[in-house]
């Protein structure tokens, strides 16, 4: 048994040696080919290699340029779209700011005069007489909205004027800047009475004030409530100039209105509430006269 195993091992060793010998013999017999270039081929290679290098370089640069150009075009297009979006957002933001400011003004107008007992009609100014320096204004409310002739027109800052012309859907206001509009007024501090008339596009004057009244610059002038047009206590403006005549018995006062008429947009029309009881009394009296 042992002899058989030794014979098998010797057989394997013999086979391995034979394979190795054949491999070494094949390797020793292999021929390696080396290509020999001619002088003309060397000349051509030396001459065209720089040109090939230049062409390769130009091709890379051209490719990079077009890639950069296309990238810039895409970036420019994106920038234009972003600028457009930003412009639209700014426009929307501006509109929102204007709406917020308008809501604030309207809220102040609606809260103004809540204790006066008047019915309030909110209106927007749609036109003014360009030849009258804001002395006549037109609003977008009329009879159909409950407005009546000689209704007072105010803002939260003070007195505007009264309704002097009226249609079903529009009304005209004669402002305190018009010389034909006379307001019975008083100086808040001294309780001195006078008549306020329009003087210019930004000033009014107070007449028939006794020369002995100690009014001073900065005094506030209010409506007195006399005359059956304007409620009492509405702000008219502040005294900016006092003219006392040497031998006169009155003094002329110049007033800067509390309202900036050049930026006026909305107003409130004060409408006297209808007294149903008084209407019934007058109706009863008319009926009684008719019976007689």
pLDDT for res 189:
92
What are the phi and psi torsion angles at 201 (to 5°)? -70, -10
CATH of the domain at 123: 2.40.10.350
d(CA 249, CA 266): 40
Residue with tokens 């091992």: 9
**Is the pTM value of this prediction over 0.75?**
no
Instruction: Report if residue 126 sits inside a domain.
Output: yes
Instruction: Report if residue 244 sits inside a domain.
Output: yes
Give the burial string for 202-234 (b: 16+ CB within 10 Å, else e): eebbbeebeeebebeeebbbbbbeeeebbbeeb
Residue 109 CB neighbours (<10 A)? 19
Domain with 238, as residue range(s), is: 119-273
pLDDT for res 235:
92
pLDDT for res 45:
59
Residue with tokens 């307001």: 183
Instruction: Report if residue 55 sits inside a domain.
Output: no
Record the tokens describing residue 70, joined without a space.
């296309």
Domain total in the chain? 1
Nearest-CA neighbor of 217 among 260, 258, 254, 176?
A: 254
Instruction: Report if residue 21 sits inside a domain.
Output: no
Residue with tokens 């009546």: 148
Instruction: Report if residue 256 sits inside a domain.
Output: yes
What DSSP string runs through the chain? Answer: -HHHHHHHHHHHHHHHHHHHHHHHHHHHH-----PPPPHHHHHHHHHHHHHHHHHHHHHHHHHHHHHHHHHHHHHHHHHHHHHHHHHHHHHHHHHHHHHHHHHHHHHHHHHTTTTS--EEEEEEEEEE-TTTTSSEEEES--GGGT--TT-EEEETTEEEEEEEEE-SS-EEEEETTSTT-EEEEEETTT--EEEEEE-SSS-EEEEEEETT----TT-EEEE-STTSSSPTT-EEEEEEEEEE-SS-SEEEEEEEESS-GGG--EEEEEEPPP-HHHHHHHHHHHHHHHH-
Instruction: Report if residue 113 sits inside a domain.
Output: no
pLDDT for res 32:
46
Instruction: Report if residue 206 sits inside a domain.
Output: yes
Nearest-CA neighbor of 136 among 173, 102, 167, 182?
A: 173
Instruction: Report if residue 85 sits inside a domain.
Output: no
- Which of the residues in the chain have pLDDT under 50? 4, 32-34, 276-278, 280-282, 285, 291-292
Question: What's the full length of the chain, in residues?
Answer: 292
């Amino acid at each position: 048994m042992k002899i058989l195993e030794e014979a098998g091992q010797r057989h394997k060793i013999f086979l391995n040696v034979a394979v190795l010998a054949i491999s070494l013999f094949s390797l020793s017999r292999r021929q390696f080919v080396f290509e020999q270039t001619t002088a003309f081929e060397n000349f051509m290679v030396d001459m065209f290699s720089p040109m090939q290098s230049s062409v390769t370089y130009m091709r890379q640069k051209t490719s990079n340029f077009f890639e950069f150009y296309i990238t810039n075009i895409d970036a420019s297009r994106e920038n234009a779209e972003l600028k457009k979006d930003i412009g639209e957002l700014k426009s929307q933001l501006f509109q929102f700011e204007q709406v917020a400011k308008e809501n604030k003004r309207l809220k102040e107008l609606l809260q103004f005069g809540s204790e006066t007992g008047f019915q309030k009609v909110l209106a927007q100014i749609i036109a003014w007489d360009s030849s009258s320096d804001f002395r006549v204004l037109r609003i977008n409310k009329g009879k159909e909205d409950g407005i009546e002739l000689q209704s007072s027109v105010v803002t939260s800052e003070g007195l505007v004027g009264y309704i002097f012309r009226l249609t079903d859907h529009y009304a005209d206001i004669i402002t305190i800047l018009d010389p034909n509009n006379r307001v019975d007024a008083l100086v808040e501090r001294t309780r001195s009475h006078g008549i306020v008339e329009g003087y210019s596009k930004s000033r009014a004057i107070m007449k028939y004030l006794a020369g002995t009244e100690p009014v001073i610059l900065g005094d506030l002038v209010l409506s007195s409530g006399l005359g059956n047009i304007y409620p009492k206590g509405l702000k008219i403006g502040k005294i900016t100039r006092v003219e006392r005549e040497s031998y006169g018995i009155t003094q002329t006062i110049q007033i800067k209105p509390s309202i900036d008429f050049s930026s006026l947009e909305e107003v409130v029309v004060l409408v006297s509430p209808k007294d149903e009881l008084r209407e019934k009394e007058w109706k009863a009296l008319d009926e009684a006269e008719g019976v007689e």
